[in-house]
Amino acid sequence: MQYMKKIGGPIDPECDCYACQNYSRAYIRHLIKANEILGVRLLSIHNINFLTKLMEKVRIEIENDSLLEFKKDFYKKYGYTND
């Protein structure tokens, strides 16, 4: 079963959260489809980490007066095209 945790990549290869460092998104999907509570716990760990890091970056960009540029790059990175 250990090998299943590593098949495919993590949810986000750039993320340093516990879920992304230890489990593949395929394995997490399997857990969710099987109604295993670990699946949603791992997703929550990732989502909270993502939002915390995003807010840290936003604070830095506000201090540097470059929030609009950050916003454009963020939207581009995540495929959001409407400005």
Pick the stretch among 18-26, 32-40, 64-72, 75-83 that binds Zn ion (CB under 5 A). 18-26
Determine which residue in the list 23, 25, 28, 46 makes contact with Zn ion, applying CB under 5 A.
46
Counting contacts by CB under 5 A, is residue 20 touching Zn ion?
A: yes
Measured from the CB atom, is 54 or 62 closer to Zn ion? 54
Q: What sign results for the dihedral spanned by CA atoms 34, 40, 41, 43?
A: positive
Enter the tokens of residue 17: 């959260």
List Cβ neighbours of 10 (8 Å cut-off, separation of 6 or more). 19, 20, 21, 23, 24, 25
Residues lying near Zn ion in the complex (CB under 5 A) are found at 15, 17, 20, 46
